[in-house]
Amino acid sequence: MSAEPPPVGTRVGASASRGVDHNIAKAITDVSERATLLVREEIELAKAEMTLKATRLAKGAVVGIAAGVFFMTALVFALIGCAWIIYFYLPVNDFAFFWGFFAMAVILVLLGVIAGLIAARAVKLGTPPVPNMAIEEARKIRESVGSTGANGVPAASPAATATTASAGDGAASGEDGG
């Protein structure tokens, strides 16, 4: 009993080949879906970070405007106080109404200083409006996807080595993105 050769035009293991093709197609689809999901999640993270930083900047701007209003009001009261002092030195009645105006100006200046310090802190926390967490997460994903060579050995590119040796902040890494 000898094995007969397959008929002409038929491929040996065609059904097995179709199964492998199906598995490769499924794997490519899965990788594509996961990459799409990662990109969407990174975009959402960036949006959340930018919203947080924009909110901080807006709060800082509002408190800064309040500080400006306090200082302008203090200037008005100081000028009114000066007017009362001039009135006091004129040869008329000895009323001392100006001290109330100066006290109010001092209170408003103190409120303006406090509001200005709060505004400066809020603006400092909100700048620069760069989604640092999203950038760092994208860098980690890129490193994990591209970290192995063809033979499974980690590949250390000069750009990656320079990035890890740099100062550490994402904006000044000097990478060209490729």
Instruction: Answer yes or no: is 104 within a domain.
Output: yes
Instruction: Answer yes or no: is 160 within a domain.
Output: no
Task: Give the residue numbers spanning the domain of 124.
Answer: 15-137
Instruction: Answer yes or no: is 144 within a domain.
Output: no
Instruction: Answer yes or no: is 62 within a domain.
Output: yes
Question: Is residue 108 a contact partner of residue 77, using CB atoms and an 8 Å limit?
Answer: yes
Q: Which two tokens stand for residue 1?
A: 């009993």
Instruction: Answer yes or no: is 164 within a domain.
Output: no
pTM comes to 0.42
Residue scoring higher pLDDT (104 or 149): 104
Instruction: Answer yes or no: is 35 within a domain.
Output: yes
pLDDT at 118: 92
Instruction: Answer yes or no: is 82 within a domain.
Output: yes
Return the ∠ at Cα 168 (arms to 165 and 173), rounded to 5°: 75
Q: How confident is the model at residue 135 (pLDDT cuts 50, 70, 90)?
A: confident
pLDDT at 89: 66
Rounded to whole angstroms, how far apart are CA atoms 36 and 30? 10
Number of domains in the chain: 1
Q: How confident is the model at residue 7 (pLDDT cuts 50, 70, 90)?
A: low
Closest to 73 (Cα-Cα) out of 104, 115, 117:
104
